[in-house]
Amino acid sequence: MRIFAEHSSSSNSPDLKVMKFGGTSVGSPENIRLVARLLAGTNEPLIVVLSAMAGTTNTLVEIAGLLEKGNPAEANVRINALEHHYKTVVSSLFETAGYREKGSEMIRNHFTYLRSFTHDLFTANEIKCVLAQGELISSALFQFHLEEKKIPSVLLQALNFMRIDREQEPDQYYIRENLDRELDNQPDCKLFITQGFICRNAYGEIDNLRRGGSDFSASLIGVAVHANEVVIWTDIDGFHDNDPRYVENTHPIAELSFDEAAELAYFGAKILHPSTILPAKVAGIPVIIKNTMNPAARGSAITDKPTGKGVKAIAAKDGITAIRIKSGRMLLAYGFMRKVFEIFELYKTPIDMITTSEISVSLTIDNLAFFPQIVEDLKHYGTVEADHDQTIICAVGEGIASESNIASELFNAISDIHVRMISYGGSQNNISVLIPSAFKKQALNALSAHFFNH
């Protein structure tokens, strides 16, 4: 990702905040009411970024997949079921007949649009149009609810200002200029609602920032308007020191640096989209993680301030495949690594970890879209072996790679688990090991017991 245009933190608005609410936060009528009450209790200027209601994007992905495979009948079944769900939401969310009708009409329009894709040949370009409906529906429902509750607000259409360029990167200048124009059109408003995830591409077509992109949207909007902070509201009390799905008695982390949070987000902490950190870091905008269901909890503050030494958290990234290329020609041969990397560049497949020896190189990927082609091309340079179902386990903390005892403690804690690869020293804030996924839970618990011992 390119470096974003730098802004001084002193230029941030003293009041304006950007808040993003995830799918669970707006996942039911009860939660929508909870979020509305939370917003009504503040007088500061806000831009609120909404995800699709929980489960909607997954269903839309299934619908798009069925249409792509030429199965409109089954797609219609899924569309009908999803429409029924939203009719139930409308019936429960709104208290007056007028707003029930407004909500029902909006739902009818969106699902009539979705059904239009079942009548004609479905193209790849139309997938993004299908996926965009989740955010468009959730934001419209939320805006209607605010109107019914007489909470002054304006719904901004993200498709009017969010855009990516031909390299699939955010067009920062376009976003800033067009968002400023949208805000200038509503000079008396202090509460704006918009969609996360969705955008237009360089050709004006509906596109998106990929799964989890609502966090990224909030960060980009925060930079564009010089917000004083970006608050990500989710269903957990901030970053935890380990994965609470596999480890009992984990604790939230009050403060993290941008670099620590970026490592955790990239290596498996699902609470924050990995792309969120960079724009906020460059602009000097704090990112706060809060729990919608427990707003009084402190949460996690991500800033550029030092947070102290030692291991802060353990994270795990699943779905990893390790590839080893062994070749006698590698010995003392310059240019070998370049040729290997060019293959992954050709297929736009990122590499997570890499280790080398005199006659082999091992690396990991988590995107298998072009795995067969990559293996065939790598065979031109040597024998190729692959291990699937691997997991990267990483310890994250400020400067831990410089502390002589941390690595030995980590390896002692998981001494009875086979380690396939080690990444140490590539980042001062991260020590990573690759293990078979079957041992993930054991490793997470062993490391938690050793470093945190709650």
What CATH number is attached to the domain comprising 40?
3.40.1160.10
- pLDDT band per the 50, 70, 90 thresholds, residue 6: very low
* Least confident range of 184-198, 316-330, 362-376: 316-330
| Pair (25, 150) in one structural domain | yes
CA dist 328 → 164, 360, 376 (Å): 44, 8, 18
Residue at token pair 């938690």: 448
DSSP 276-309: GHHHHHHHT--EEEEETT-TTS--EEEESS---S
| Pair (76, 216) in one structural domain | yes
Give residue-wise pLDDT tens across range 240-256. 999 999 999 999 999 99
192 part of a folded domain: yes
For 263, counting Cβ atoms within 10 Å of its Cβ (0-12 exposed, 13-18 middle, 19+ buried), the class is buried
| Pair (96, 193) in one structural domain | yes
CB 191 within 8 A of CB 228: no
Mean pLDDT (whole number) for 12-20? 82
- List the one residue out of 171, 278, 288 whose CA is nearest residue 228: 288
pLDDT surpassing 50 at residue 270: yes
Q: Could you give the CA distance from residue 260 to residue 312 in angstroms, rounded to a whole number?
A: 8
More confident of the two residues 309 and 416: 416
Beta bridge partners of 450: none
pLDDT surpassing 80 at residue 334: no
DSSP 120: S
CA dist 11 → 15, 47, 228, 363 (Å): 12, 18, 9, 42
441 part of a folded domain: yes
- List the one residue out of 299, 43, 302, 21 whose CA is nearest residue 151: 43
Mean pLDDT (whole number) for 385-394? 96
Mean pLDDT across the chain: 92
Joined together, the tokens standing for residue 241 give: 């020191």
| Pair (350, 229) in one structural domain | no
300 part of a folded domain: no
Which domain, by its residues, includes 418? 313-451
| Pair (205, 330) in one structural domain | no
| Pair (204, 322) in one structural domain | no
pLDDT surpassing 90 at residue 25: yes
| Pair (322, 426) in one structural domain | yes
- pLDDT band per the 50, 70, 90 thresholds, residue 332: low
Q: Could you give the CA distance from residue 152 to residue 43 in angstroms, rounded to a whole number?
A: 11
Q: Domain end: 218, 235, 252, which one?
A: 235
- pLDDT band per the 50, 70, 90 thresholds, residue 30: very high
145 part of a folded domain: yes
The pair phi, psi for residue 160, each rounded to 5°, is -85, -15
What is the pLDDT at residue 425?
Answer: 74
- pLDDT band per the 50, 70, 90 thresholds, residue 328: confident
- pLDDT band per the 50, 70, 90 thresholds, residue 331: low
| Pair (213, 342) in one structural domain | no
| Pair (226, 350) in one structural domain | no
What is the pLDDT at residue 180?
Answer: 96
Give residue-wise pLDDT tens across range 198-224. 999 999 999 999 877 899 999 999 999
Give residue-wise pLDDT tens across range 150-175. 999 999 999 999 999 999 999 999 99
Q: Domain end: 197, 220, 235, which one?
A: 235
Mean pLDDT (whole number) for 375-403? 94
More confident of the two residues 3 and 179: 179
Q: How many domains does the chain have?
A: 2
Exposure string of 436-451, with b = 16+ CB inside 10 Å and e = fewer, is beebbeebbbbbbebb
What is the pLDDT at residue 4?
Answer: 40
What is the pLDDT at residue 5?
Answer: 43
What is the pLDDT at residue 43?
Answer: 84
| Pair (227, 329) in one structural domain | no
What CATH number is attached to the domain comprising 421?
3.30.2130.10
Mean pLDDT (whole number) for 65-89? 97
More confident of the two residues 380 and 330: 380
pLDDT surpassing 60 at residue 116: yes
